Amino acid sequence: MPIKFHEGSKTFHIYNKHLSYITCIMENGQMENLYYGKAIRDKEDFSYLHEEIMRSLMAVCVPEPGLLSMQYTKQEYPVYGTGDYRNPALTVRQENGSEIVDFKYVSHEIYGGKKKLAGLPATYTESDEEATSLDITLHDSVMDTDLVLTYSVYEDYPVITRSARLVQKGDQKIRLENVMSAAVEFPDMDYEMIHLSGAWARERYVKTRKLEMGTQAVQSLAGTGSSSEQNPFIALKRPHTTEDTGEVFGFSFVYSGNFLAQVEVSTYEMTRVMMGINPQGFSWELSRDEEFQTPEVVMVYSDKGLNGMSQAYHRLYCDRLMRGKWRNHARPILLNNWEATYFDFNEEKILNIAKKAKEVGVELFVLDDGWFGTRNDDYQGLGDWFVNKNKLPNGISGLSRKIEEMGLKFGLWVELEMVNKNSDCYRAHPDWALQIPGKNPVRSRNQLVLDFSRKDAVDFIFDSITEVLDYAEVEYLKWDMNRSLCDVYSAAAGYQGKVLYDYVLGVYDFLDRLLKRYPNLLIEGCSGGGGRFDAGMLYYTPQIWCSDNTDAINRTRIQYGTSFFYPVAAMGSHVSAVPNHQTGRVTSMHTRGVAAMSGTFGYELNPALLNAKEKAEIRAQLAQYREYQELIREGDYYRLSNPFQDNFAAWMVVSDDRSKALVSVIRLTAEANPPAAYVTLKGMEEDAFYREKTTGKVYPGAALMEAGILLPAAVSEYEAYQIELERV
């Protein structure tokens, strides 16, 4: 049993072959966090890990027999008002105005498997043997409220998941104003914090900062999870940690709303990590017999560097977060018409593009924005999910069947969470938009946000889009969301503090209902590009559009940062037209193809405008991708360079049995008469020999990982190379 409770020392040891996590019940009934790190042998008593030192002005909550002080204790779920002056994981406003709580241990339960979280996405198990879980119940007697801390440890992954649940049993109404999903404390501050930050068209750039005394944090207040600016993921690594060696602790939030990821270093160099729903704009009232469940935090421990952390997240999220048909299934190679036509299309033009796409070997045609209502520009039509018969006289059903007859699958773009003022939906239901009475609403892209915390609004949109999908051959849906939330006020909610959280639950409920109705539907998430690329959405949408920026050179950085946490199988990545629509850069078809093969492959261009040479290149790309798509999707991914620092971007995937590898390299700079450039590989079998497919040369595995492989001499700027290796 990988979770043990030692009755004598009141200690819980959560462990597997990779890690140990130790927590205990203190003298005052609260929980202490004793250890988190590499797996250690179990023993009856780990009390030597408790630090107890008399300090000047120390606030002592238990004076006898020791000197227990919350200010200098590594707490499991800290609260304010106990003599601890650091930031708390929980703030509860009581009827008398007090925020001081005292949750003491009552009971615990250890069980096989993992329970579902009500209304929320989370990692899961398919048998009780895959993981073991622990529920620790604490109770505040004044409020008569339970706090349940839940832990799950997977058997085969270096992973522990955390969440918290509050249950109000008393008669008074309490208000939750801050509820973190997890808190972890470390005894020192010798770490660097990694986070993924950016903006539209440069999402998830890797940022690293040394921890200092005080608070460092990343957060989102955009209402939509990560937004393009901050991703719900942080990691702490030791300063000497590299891609392949050293300790790193990853924290990922399985939620698509406002979040806070905070690291606080005390003046005694203790480090407290907390992650959960952002308290700004959030409050939740609980009356008798009501509960509140926090989203899940997924914690990964690696002593094999950053690649070890990333590969753990990749494997777990591909196998036990994504669901359904497309979890471990080859995704269709698609062509999207957006950059080919924007809003300017009719059925004839679309069918011509689809025909040309079929000729070069594309498998799925996706019709993007502009097919519904009066949607001829950004100012109108959102909310009216009925077909624009002026553009498509035979409707989506007629168009999809014609495209299916060509031998292509058909996909459709939607933006169901939005509404334009110039729409039938808004004119009939202006109260369905999030806006504050008496104030001019804040617009973005000329649209407002529908109130998905309202069941009537969600049901209307659900019925509208299923009326289309029920009668058409739609096998793929691109779920877009092109703005963040402002003016968060619901005309239906009596208490506004719950709207943001209920909005996210409304989105999850909609997606869940959609997938139950259409179990074979592939949904790709999108939010102004990569603005809602988070683990919560992966539960429903097994691939997410990585960025609206399709420039191959910029994409090396975006996809590099994304890979720290998210698997290649989740990254929507396409070959687009040149000059690139975001940067104006011109790169070769080959270079664009190499960049796009680090993800779910597809095209964003008009194949009718391609010359014979370009069409031949696409056919060759598709043949190569089909040969390697299983390896790309399921192999171990390694970062071989840092495109923020190096002159080239390089990465590779290796099969589980180490028999095949695909290495991709893109030169980022051009130099006259450059020095020789080698790329050093990873994950190969040391004692094996590998043949390079193009040249026929045979290399020892150890030599590939130690000496590397020489890249061809540069001929032009932004050249790309793919090295295909197979064990002899």
Which residues are tagged catalytic?
A: 480, 548
Phi, psi dihedrals of residue 78, rounded to the nearest 5°: -70, 150
Largest CA distance in the chain: 85
Q: What is the DSSP letter of 422?
A: B
Q: What tokens does 207 get?
A: 């940022």
Contact 514, 523 (CB under 8 A): yes
Q: What tokens does 135 get?
A: 């529920």
In degrees, rounded to 5, the angle at the alpha carbon of residue 212 between the alpha carbons of residues 207 and 217 is 50
Q: What tokens does 640 get?
A: 């071989």
Contact 361, 618 (CB under 8 A): yes
Identify any residues that bridge with 272 across adjacent strands, giving them in sequence order: 185, 264
Omega within 30 of 0 (cis) for the link into 437? no
d(Cα 477, Cα 336) in Å, to the nearest integer? 12
Alpha-carbon distance values, 519 to 540, 615, 635 (Å): 11, 34, 26
Side-chain-facing half-sphere of 444: CA atoms under 13 Å: 14
Of residues 428, 419, 319, 408, the one with CA closest to residue 372:
419
User: What are the DSSP E strand ranges found in 535-688?
Assistant: 543-545, 571-576, 600-604, 636-639, 648-654, 660-667, 678-679
Kindly write down the DSSP assignment for every residue of 98-115, as one continuous string. Answer: ------EEEEEEEEES-P
Contact 319, 312 (CB under 8 A): no
Among all chains, which residue has been given the structure tokens 């997977």? 154
Of residues 592, 676, 685, the one with CA closest to residue 636:
685
Residue 221: CB atoms within 10 A of its CB come to 18
d(Cα 51, Cα 48) in Å, to the nearest integer? 8
Among all chains, which residue has been given the structure tokens 């988190």? 36
d(Cα 34, Cα 21) in Å, to the nearest integer? 8
Of residues 74, 72, 77, 73, the one with CA closest to residue 92:
77
